[in-house]
Structure 1
Amino acid sequence: MPAYTEAIEQRLLADPVFLADIADAVGGPFHVLFPERVALNIKAFQQVFAAADVDGFVYFGKKANKAACVVRACAENGAGVDVASTGELVAAMAQGVRGEDLMVTGPAKSDELLWLAARQRALIAIDALDELERLAALDLPVRVLLRVLPEGSTSRFGLDPMELEQAIQAVKAPITLSGFSFHLSGYDAAARSEQAAALLGHCRRARANGHPADTISIGGGFGVDYLDASAWDEFRNALSDNWFHASPPGDYYPYHFPVPGAAMLDAILAHNNLAELLRDNGIRLAVEPGRALLDRAGSSVFRVQGVKTRIAQGNPYDILTVDGTSLSLSEQWFDSEYLPDPVLWPHTTGHLTPTCVGATTCLESDLLSRRRIPLPRRARTGDLLVYPNTAGYQMDSNESTFHELPLPPKVVLRADADRLRWSLDHTAR
């Protein structure tokens, strides 16, 4: 199941020495990031807003990746950042994101986070009534959104109808009620459109009480298309337990997504004429994509440390041990599997070899790939294994220094006309 790749990544993999030079310099597993691709993804969302004549704003969901170069790309391309901790807030501002371009989300925010956010004029999504009380005690001008618990949701986040009514009545100067927000699980464009339309009534009611209420945030959940439809359909239709070492995963991310990223935003705005409703009511639509802004913006690289052969159902397959852990390929830690095929480097000829990939820890379950991937040749010690399109959540949402192994550093790759250049991301210095 080969993944879609960016042109700069294709140049990296085609170069006979460049990837090995980085690996030798770093001395262990590492992640490669392509910030120019982040900029393109931001612009794609902005272009959808412009084409629909909708006042819209893009906030990058920072939890999806810690790299400084990603946040710098946001600052340089007119996007804000969605943060949920003082560390994320400080890191975003250190890369040039202005306070008014920050969205502060998350439950039960600390007093320190609320104080910093208020001082920087960030937009704060209120998740509980006590947050309003603590903000009022600061006596600072601050903008808030009230996070609405969608009807029928069992989420622990958001304000139920009674709490929402109390919150609307409780907002008083110097706090400004800028609007409302919600988050939905899954990737249903129609559901997001309908929930946004439902919040228009809240905005009108808040305006009648003297509040600006000119913003609705629909959160994230914009799908990413990793694989073409035929590869994904073939996998799902022919799936067999025999394809995996030990037991197969319980569930999978939809690795083929027919209307991903900015195209999904377009579908949301088109459903039930949401774009027209937003224009008619003078409402700004905020979105908080994380994974979708990181689509094809990075890869993870591991060095092969060992190779052994096993036999199942009479068929041999290899198990590799690489110099990292599945904590750096986070899908494995949700009873799932990161399915896009890794690339074996360097490219040499050989025989198709079914291969699983294990980590360097002593845990039986620590496998980067339980699936027997059909590598184009047998891997050798010293080869590099490149997992594509891992910038969205995979790289560092679960990383750990277990076994006192260092965290894989992040490498920033940029392309000049005549050559590739790399540097360490600020987070790795």
Structure 2
Amino acid sequence: MLVTRPASDAAGHAAAASVASAVAAAVVPPDAVPAGSPWPAGALRTDQDVLVGGVGLSRLAARYATPLYVLDEAEVRSRCRAYRRALPGADVVYAAKAFLCGAMAEWVEQEGLGLDVCSGGELEHAVTCGFPAGRIVMHGNAKSPEELAAAVRLGVGRIVVDSFSEIARLAVLASPERPQDVLVRVVPGVSAGHHAAVRTGVEEQKFGFSIAAGDAADAVERVLNQPRLRLAGLHCHLGSQIAEVGPYLDTLDRVVPLLAAIRDRHGIALPELDLGGGHAVPYRAGESALDLAEFAERVNARLAELCARHRLAVPRLAVEPGRAVVGPAGVAVYRVLAVKHTMGGRTFVAVDGGMSDNPRPALYDARYTATLVGRAVAADAPLTDACVVGRHCEAGDVLVPEVRLPADIRAGDLVAVPVAGAYHLSMASGYNLVGRPPLVAVRDGASRMLLRRETLDDFRRRDIGR
């Protein structure tokens, strides 16, 4: 949902300062955003454009070219603050796999969140950018010996152990003078998530130790038998795009008894419980999001109830939102290269990006919306059912399979796709040697580049075999 404001084309540039003030005033916490809105909270629509962070998307496209990614800094920060408000007694850890760059690490650190990384690259980049290693949690089902050594060397706060071999490797790498804090990742056997490829809380997949099979209890015992390791708690992650609180409650029903069994067998009460992330956001108008206030209230209440029942001290809770922090803050802007009308009545709108900058539709059948920006469209103008497709040599390179767009859409027009902040640039590829797009941050009417466009020279520099 976009707030509509009239603005003439001639007055657009002259009114930039006042528009920026209006946007700043319009930014509200995400829990106050109209339900089902896929746009940043402060987004405004004029009669010719959409403004994000006080800057028109068409102006950004003219300045930085397309395809272009735009990130609303105020939206990211407000979402961080919403998590801090809703869960004041918990650790909120941003999942860097959703998107990471130096500015993002800086914003997250300034807002008081920790950082969850899942590779040596993410770890080294975060620390190099100044993120405190002690506030980093390191994930991964197949961490290399070099990655584990780097995590220990840099002083990572928590390492989530995911296999028996990792426990053995860490026991050698850690120092007797400074034992490494670890979390054991457990599989609760709870199915949740929008696609089978991202349901990680179920049995028979690659992550974690099964509670039901007894592997989790075995992993806990092995960690406790290593004097160079210190067991801080348990970790679990259910999947992605989870819009209901129920799966998290079901997880507590299975994990808290394991905490009690560990207490009874080993005489220790583990102080931490990390419930991971996977919190859903709407990608199209009317879609459901995870209700953060409901999540905080019901999860805390169930955790307290179960711990009282098992005579356990309530462990410190941690959550790991990624998409829910950065996803709705991002907008992708493309330029239309061609429009085709088929015999069967379909309208294909081909743009200058595609699966190389957003592979999610091809991977998970992810669904988005799109809107025309940069020129006026009459309120009563006819619309058409369009399919927004990418430029790559794949029939599956479809960004938005079904969306209503103006019937007169044509080459040269601009199309904006919201909720582009998560798992777009972080998963982008060099397919067809099409360089990855730049990323521009916007705030209070100003823009600055965070990531430059990838060029042919970048590809050439890697090609050293001749």
Letter in 1 for 2:272: T
- Distance between the aligned counterparts of 2:233 and 2:99, measured in 1? 27
- Distance between the aligned counterparts of 2:215 and 2:311, measured in 1? 28
Per the alignment, do residues 63 and 406 of structure 1 end up closer, same or farther by CA in structure 2, a change over 3 Å counting?
same
Would you say the 8 A contact 1:58–1:288 is kept in 2? yes
Alignment of 1:180-199 (within 5 A): 180-185=234-239, 187=242, 188-199=244-255
Could you say which residue in structure 1 is the equivalent of 2:282? 225
Could you say which residue in structure 2 is the equivalent of 1:155? 205
CA-CA distance at 1:173 after TM superposition:
2.2
Letter in 2 for 1:193: L
Per the alignment, do residues 260 and 341 of structure 1 end up closer, same or farther by CA in structure 2, a change over 3 Å counting?
farther
1:8-32 CA distances to partner (integer Å, 9 max, x unpaired)? 4326715999433422333330110
Could you say which residue in structure 2 is the equivalent of 1:411? 440
- 1:363 lines up with 2:394 in the alignment: yes
- Distance between the aligned counterparts of 1:328 and 1:62, measured in 2? 17
What RMSD in Å do the two structures reach over aligned CA positions?
Answer: 2.9
Alignment of 1:14-413 (within 5 A): 14=51, 18-50=56-88, 55-119=89-153, 120-140=155-175, 141-151=179-189, 153-160=203-210, 161-171=213-223, 172-185=226-239, 187=242, 188-206=244-262, 209=266, 213-229=270-286, 256-257=287-288, 259-261=290-292, 263-271=294-302, 273=304, 281-312=313-344, 316-334=345-363, 336-349=365-378, 350-371=381-402, 373-393=403-423, 395-413=424-442
Per the alignment, do residues 227 and 421 of structure 1 end up closer, same or farther by CA in structure 2, a change over 3 Å counting?
same
- Distance between the aligned counterparts of 2:205 and 2:364, measured in 1? 21
Letter in 1 for 2:137: M
Would you say the 8 A contact 1:269–1:275 is kept in 2? no
- Distance between the aligned counterparts of 1:411 and 1:33, measured in 2? 6
Would you say the 8 A contact 1:105–1:124 is kept in 2? yes
CA-CA distance at 1:336 after TM superposition:
1.4
Could you say which residue in structure 2 is the equivalent of 1:245? none
Per the alignment, do residues 281 and 335 of structure 1 end up closer, same or farther by CA in structure 2, a change over 3 Å counting?
closer
Per the alignment, do residues 228 and 388 of structure 1 end up closer, same or farther by CA in structure 2, a change over 3 Å counting?
closer
Would you say the 8 A contact 1:322–1:358 is kept in 2? yes
Per the alignment, do residues 162 and 327 of structure 1 end up closer, same or farther by CA in structure 2, a change over 3 Å counting?
same
Per the alignment, do residues 41 and 276 of structure 1 end up closer, same or farther by CA in structure 2, a change over 3 Å counting?
farther
SS in 2 for 1:327: coil
Would you say the 8 A contact 1:307–1:320 is kept in 2? yes
CA-CA distance at 1:130 after TM superposition:
1.1
Query: Structure 2 stretches of 5 or more lacking a match?
Result: 3-36, 190-201, 455-466
Would you say the 8 A contact 2:256–2:307 is kept in 1? no
Per the alignment, do residues 13 and 290 of structure 1 end up closer, same or farther by CA in structure 2, a change over 3 Å counting?
same
1:381-414 CA distances to partner (integer Å, 9 max, x unpaired)? 2211000112122x22442222211101111111
Letter in 1 for 2:222: A
- Distance between the aligned counterparts of 2:262 and 2:303, measured in 1? 23
What number of residue pairs does the alignment pair up?
390
Letter in 2 for 1:348: V
SS in 1 for 2:91: strand
Could you say which residue in structure 2 is the equivalent of 1:425? 450
Per the alignment, do residues 185 and 343 of structure 1 end up closer, same or farther by CA in structure 2, a change over 3 Å counting?
same
SS in 2 for 1:37: helix
Per the alignment, do residues 308 and 166 of structure 1 end up closer, same or farther by CA in structure 2, a change over 3 Å counting?
closer
Give the ranges of 4+ consecutive aligned residues of structure 1 lying more than 6 Å apart after TM superposition: none
CA-CA distance at 1:61 after TM superposition:
1.3
1:335-386 CA distances to partner (integer Å, 9 max, x unpaired)? 5142323344323334323322222223333222222x22134212221100
Would you say the 8 A contact 2:161–2:182 is kept in 1? yes
Letter in 2 for 1:218: L
- Distance between the aligned counterparts of 2:219 and 2:364, measured in 1? 39
- Distance between the aligned counterparts of 2:439 and 2:77, measured in 1? 18
Greater mean alpha carbon deviation, residues 71-80 or residues 323-332: 323-332
SS in 2 for 1:424: strand
Could you say which residue in structure 1 is the equivalent of 2:30? none
Per the alignment, do residues 279 and 92 of structure 1 end up closer, same or farther by CA in structure 2, a change over 3 Å counting?
farther
Per the alignment, do residues 342 and 225 of structure 1 end up closer, same or farther by CA in structure 2, a change over 3 Å counting?
same
Query: Structure 1 stretches of 5 or more lacking a match?
Result: 230-255
TM-score by length of 1: 0.81
- Distance between the aligned counterparts of 1:427 and 1:196, measured in 2? 43
Identity among equivalent pairs (%): 26
Could you say which residue in structure 1 is the equivalent of 2:33? none
Would you say the 8 A contact 1:65–1:391 is kept in 2? yes
TM-score by length of 2: 0.75
